[in-house]
Each structure stands twice: as structure tokens, then as C-alpha cells.
Amino acid sequence: MTALINLLDLDPAQLVAYCGELGEKPFRAKQLQRWIHQFGARSFEEMTDLAKSLREKLTTRAIIGAPAVISDHTSADGTRKWLVDVGQGNAVETVFIPEENRGTLCISTQAGCAVNCRFCSTGKQGFNRNLSVAEIIGQLWMAEFELRKTKGVVAGPKGERQITNVVMMGMGEPLLNFAPTVTALRLMLDDNAYGLSRRRVTLSTSGVVPMIDKLSQECPVALAVSLHASNDELRDSLIPLNKKYPLSELMAACKRYLEFAPRDFITFEYCMLDGVNDSDLHAKELIQLVKNVPCKFNLIPFNPFPESGLKRSGNLRIKAFSQVLLDAGIVTTIRKTRGDDIDAACGQLAGEVQDRTRVQLRMQKMDEYKSRFGENFGKIVEIVQ
């Protein structure tokens, strides 16, 4: 039996090719994309302007399959976090951050992470696997239409979008899952899907230099670089990847990327760690490091977790550090911590995701058994124990 094709796995060109295999004209691909990504269709029967014969073909050959939601929590500040099942006991987290003039979705690209940055709880769970295109774009698909339901918004292609910006800053290193990530980016940008501007889609990387160059040629979007240190010795201790791609190579790659980028600057993310990277000397080293790279800095108050052995810099220290950069003419912002009451803040994602996923799956199994065996369930449990 032929495996069903998940249409969420296909970028615009691939969907045209698939329609060709079905004997359909290219415009059918655009119709399909609009139904899936703009209207949130979950079945082919909903696609009323498609010929019945095509709907019947698709029903037997394809699916629209996004990852299932395990849990859904909303913070006191409105931040919303979904725990999403990606199979085999793995889960990832997707976070929506509402603001007055925009709604930003933070997407994951891997289950776990191999980079193992010292200040990031996700890296402590290790690397499990890369996500597929459907699992990456499926987070955007799921979140957009869940948010529309919550807001009571009627589905449609114009004027109702809840998510205006996407940042690939969730679990994983996007550039170490390059092909699925780029396919998902193309869907985000396509006018028949989400129609996002390249300026409103940001990919965050810890500094995989060859893949930064490749991204600039295949699908340049706004780039954020997890810098977090002002010299190689310090960065080696915080981000092991720096030993392979040191700061001189990273800065050169950033400068090359700007020739193709939709924005005329690179965003450098800098996690503020008490007594580690937050002195005025570190700030002055940064000024020298980025002097030839147009950039802005986003200072991130560290979100502590026990395994890190690190502490958050004090607010006065962060402000003083920021002022040194500002005095040098570098645009610098301090990220407002959002969603930390539901562990949705930067660096907190999925510290215990695998354990929580397994518990959730066990609970689902128990519910199934209760439903199946009814009043005999308690006796069965006693026998097993």
C-alpha cells in the first residue's frame, strides 16, 4: 500500500509537481495551498471549489497532518505555549507572544538540540531528531488557527491573520536541519500560503558558518545570531560550536549575509550572565568585535535553571552594559521577559519535555483502558500490581 503524502510537507513548487502527478493543472496547487494555509482546512471535503474527482483522489492519496497538541497554556501576560507531539516520546514547544501591534510565533526546528549551549535548558536534554517540514510549518498552521478560534475570527485569506511575525528561536538549531527549515520558510513567504515578508521572518542561529552562507543564497530572511560572548575563549565555554566556527569566521559570514538579507543589519542576541559576560570590558570588546558588521544588540536577561550553574545579571548591570553599547552608537534593546510563569521564556523551552510527554501518553493509555474495560478496570490493575 502506497504511503499517504502529507501536503504540509510540500513547498509551492513541490505541490505543483504533485498535482502534475495527479494529472491536474498547476493552478490546483495554489487552490490547495490557500485552503490549507489560509483557511486551515483539515479535510479535502471542505475544499468546495475543487472538482469532486480531485477531492476523491486526494482523500485516498494524501493527508493534511500537523503534530498533535499535548498541552496548551496561557501566561498571565498573554503568552501562549503549546507542547506538540512529534512522535516516539518526543515533543517540542511552540510559543506565541502577543504585542500591541504584532503577534510573534516562536517555532522549533528540532526535538532537543545538539549545540548544548551552557545557558539553554533545551540543550541539556540532548538531541533527539530533526523535525520534518510538516512538523515545522505545522506549528504555524496549528497556532494560527487555534488563535483564530480563540479570537472568534472567521477563517479567510485577508485581514484576519493573528500571527504577523515568525522567529525560528524555539528548540533546536535551524541551520543543522537545513532542508526542512528552508522548505518551511518558503511556505511562510508564499502569497498563496502565509504571505509573510522576509523582514518579518527571523532565523536564529548559534553560528553554523557554512549554512549561513547557504541560507543567503537559497532563502535569505532576517538573521539573528546567538552571540553571548565577546571573545573566543569565553564563547568556547558557553557555546561549544565556537571551537569549530570562531568569532572571526562568524563575523565574516554575517557581513557576507548582509549582501542578500532583507534587513540592513544583523541582530546579535546576548544572554546576560552574572559575573560571566556582563562587565563593561565585555561590552567594549563587543564594540570592537562588531565594528565592521552593521548590527543591533538584543540583551536577554538569563532565565535560570538548576543544571546551568549560572545566574541572571542584575537589572542595573544590564542597563549599564546596554549604555556602553548605546554610547558607541549601537542600537541596543533589553528583551522583556515573557511567559516565564509557564516556562515559555527564552532558554526555558522543554527542559523536561520528554518526561512530561511520557506521562501524558501514559495518562492517555490509562483513559483508553478505563473506557475499554469499564468497571473491571480496577480489578485488572490490582491483578497486574
Give the pLDDT score at 385: 33
Q: Is the pLDDT of residue 273 over 80?
A: yes
* pTM recorded for the entire structure: 0.86
Instruction: Give the start-to-end residue ranges of the domains of the chain.
Output: 5-63, 68-351
Give the pLDDT score at 369: 46
Q: Is the pLDDT of residue 140 over 70?
A: yes
Model confidence pLDDT, tens digit, residues 27-60: 999 999 999 999 999 999 999 999 999 999 999 9
Q: How many other C-beta atoms are found inside a 10 Å radius of the C-beta of residue 298?
A: 17
Q: Is the pLDDT of residue 120 over 90?
A: no
| Lookup: cell for 122 | 533545551
Given 19, 120, 295, 346, which residue is catalytic?
A: 346
Give the pLDDT score at 367: 53
Q: How many helices (H) and strands (E) does the chain have?
A: 12, 14
Model confidence pLDDT, tens digit, residues 301-357: 998 888 888 999 999 999 999 999 999 999 999 998 765 655 544 444 454 545 444
| Lookup: cell for 247 | 568569532
Does the domain at 68-351 match CATH 2.60.40.10? Answer given as: no
The class level of CATH for 5-63 reads: mainly alpha
Give the pLDDT score at 366: 47
Q: Which amino acid is it at 232?
A: D
Q: Is the pLDDT of residue 25 over 90?
A: yes
Model confidence pLDDT, tens digit, residues 204-247: 999 999 999 999 999 999 999 999 999 999 999 999 999 999 99
**Confidence bin at 384 (pLDDT 50/70/90):** very low
Give the pLDDT score at 376: 52
Residue, of 358 and 167, whose pLDDT is higher? 167
Is 106 noted as a catalytic residue in this protein? Answer: no
Model confidence pLDDT, tens digit, residues 63-96: 999 999 999 999 988 999 999 999 888 999 999 9
Q: Is the pLDDT of residue 185 over 70?
A: yes
**Confidence bin at 383 (pLDDT 50/70/90):** very low
> Closest Cα partner for 220 from 245, 253, 198, 189?
198
Strands 68-74, 62-63: pairing is unpaired
Please report which helix (H) or strand (E) contains residue 90, including its range: strand 90-98
Q: How many other C-beta atoms are found inside a 10 Å radius of the C-beta of residue 214?
A: 14
Is 93 noted as a catalytic residue in this protein? Answer: yes
Give the pLDDT score at 381: 37
Q: How many other C-beta atoms are found inside a 10 Å radius of the C-beta of residue 60?
A: 9
Contact 293, 247 (CB under 8 A): no
Q: Is the pLDDT of residue 358 over 60?
A: no
Contact 67, 9 (CB under 8 A): no
Q: Which amino acid is it at 133?
A: V
Give, as one character, the DSSP assignment of residue 157.
S
Given 93, 146, 173, 269, which residue is catalytic?
A: 93
Contact 111, 123 (CB under 8 A): no
Considering 126-135, 347-356, 367-376, the range whose residues carry the highest mean pLDDT is 126-135
Task: Using alpha carbons, list the distances in angstroms from residue 298 to 57, 98, 227, 318, 325.
Answer: 50, 18, 10, 11, 11
- The mean pLDDT of the chain is 88
